[in-house]
Structure 1
Amino acid sequence: MRINRKLWSLLPLEQIDPGARQQIFDCLRDDRVLQMAVMPDVHTGYDLPIGGVVLVEGHVSPGYVGYDIGCGMCAVNTGIPAADLLPDQAAGKDLFTRIMQQIPTGLGGHHRSDPYPPFVSAGEDKALTTKVNRSVKGQLGSLGSGNHFIEISADRQGRCWITVHSGSRNAGHSVAGYYMAQARRIGDRFLSLHSEIGQAYLRDMIYCQNFALANRLKIVEGVLRIMGFSAADIGRLTTENLINENHNHAELQDGNLVLHRKGATPATDGQKGIIPANMRDGIYVTVGLGNRDYLQSASHGAGRVMSRSEGRRRVKLDNFRESMKGIIARVDKATLDESPFVYKEIGSVLAAQEGVVIEVINHLRPLVNIKGA
């Protein structure tokens, strides 16, 4: 629905939490903001609400991209019946254990060093260069924490899929923090595209986006290897069957325009996408409709209805366990803030988008879920 000259929202404003609503109005007041679209998973974020998409003239905002630069999802359809790969609960538990042993989750990374092109800050900041390279060295192929996940699923045809949600880890956080500080230093949330610091941010951001994709691919390849796929099969699947979307990024358009997505995925005409619901209700595969009113975007998930602290305080562990019956997952106090109850009901989130910005073409039912707790 069109709210005003600049704003299109897939959710009525009165259904948006007050913090996110204030962030929307703050954004719209800036003359450099030409258009804004709000996704139905919208909730309060840093500077810009999660689920916000903004087209800006002549400037880029590190805060509008956020700390986890390039965060996104990769999904691969193995084409093999899930019943053949995971015939029973014992097989699922064994897979869960082996993934947890071989793919780091949480704040840390690998003790070994994986090769990746070194980072050299375009802003020529030696401390930032050192910090990012230290992160990249150990964190390639690691999941991270919070709502990041690995999920093995069965689709409507019973085929096994692997989905990974992760980002650029501490590298992106370090780059984001550095350039947010530079913006604050000049008293603005934006950096001019015509400034050295604005161009430096774009180059460093792209490095982090590329690292985030390489990180997800490394995890997907690792899971396929654990499941017994050969190197040739892994190469074929990640080339032919991969869906990749990142939902925290900025992209140049028409030379002087910058499209910012904060927790929103591209939904150009015909583009396949991924919208996860929660640990219990799985993942929806979509195809974009290219709706320009909504800046060719869709939600990146269901959206939270409780903060992490609120979820830990309000959700009962017994209810969480009951809701997850039949799914191999970590269901304890460490993942309570990621339980299904802290997210919006996925049916209403999809209904707000279907036929407008996306069509749902498949549903992936979770069999094994690994959270980055």
Structure 2
Amino acid sequence: LEQFVTNKMIEYGAMEVETPIMYDFKHPSLSDYLNRFPARQYLLNSEDKELFLRFAACFGQFLLMHDTQFSYKQMPLKLYELTRYSFRREKSGEVCGLRRLRAFTMPDCHAFCAELNQAKKEFEKRFKLSIEILNEIGLTKEDYEIALRFTQDFFEENKDLIKKLAKIYDKPILVELWKERFFYFILKWDANFIDNQKKAAALSTDQIDVENAKRYKITYVDKNGEKKYPLILHFSPSGAIERVVYALLEKAFKNQQLGKSPMLPLWLSPTQVRLIPISESYVLKVNELTKEIAKHNIRVDIDDRASTLQKKIREAEKEWVPYIIVVGPKEIESGILSVRDRENNRKVEKMELSQLIEKIQTKIKNKPFQLLPLPQNLSKRPQFYG
């Protein structure tokens, strides 16, 4: 999931950077921001300094841009970082599973734009990109609601952009209209996932920042050779990685309530195919099938433990394995596999190994691949208890 979002941002044209997680609370630019927009940051004392842990990538990226020379020719200039980690000192009663954490992984992209028209074009482009990314992850427009916030003045002068955003989303949008600006941005949107307890959690977001370039003394050279402050767009294309996983799990539960089998998208399933030999004498043959499947960048494992066949199938179901295949003499002799397809309501379909591989490859096309992070044979895995 992290790799997928990062690849999308690099394709978009952002330069990947890495910035510190700890900053001096007394830094003039940072203290001005923190005093105006207080957050629940973790504080640390080291010798004579008061330090804090970042809650966003803004601080490091803005300090980096303060020391960067660039002109209108390089704009919009885009920086991207996948923060491992960002920190918020949430109260004990507020911490909730993967929805709200004290440490989280946040894809964070800033675009530095020369003027408002350029910022508006980039804002619209990123709005479309975020919808595309969420959709490819497995969250459609039916899974989240968009909220827009802007000032009265901005709306009167830029109705065209607001209408475009509404048309792109093609669903009702919640709007918060301010008479005066009291944050650092003039326009912001959030994609809010509504879970099964009817609680909202923000995923993707973007905003047009009109203050922080001056606060951090970030300047660019315009066509006339003069130094100007850019507009800054703050963008998270997916929201925190942990929160995306929470949204996918909540969606799976919602589907289960509708009579469907709960599951993760195939490309994100830890094990995509599980082979279950009918007895120990077929383990070697199953190993050959496993090698062939794994050659095609498919995560496959073997349940070769000393347990009953029904228990192995039941455990594979509990793990939401998308494809379960029991292998015995008929399958070895005929080359035809009985594939239990979780997405198709666990129906068993007869197919050759090559057909199964082709089917999976079609479904996971253009998605990044990670190797199976555990021993391929379940008998080799330790048991974890918590």
TM-score range, shorter chain: under 0.3
What is the TM-score when the length of structure 1 is the normalising length?
0.26
Larger RCO, structures 1/2 (Cα 8 Å, 6+ apart): 1
> Which one has a bigger Cα radius of gyration?
2
What is the TM-score when the length of structure 2 is the normalising length?
0.25
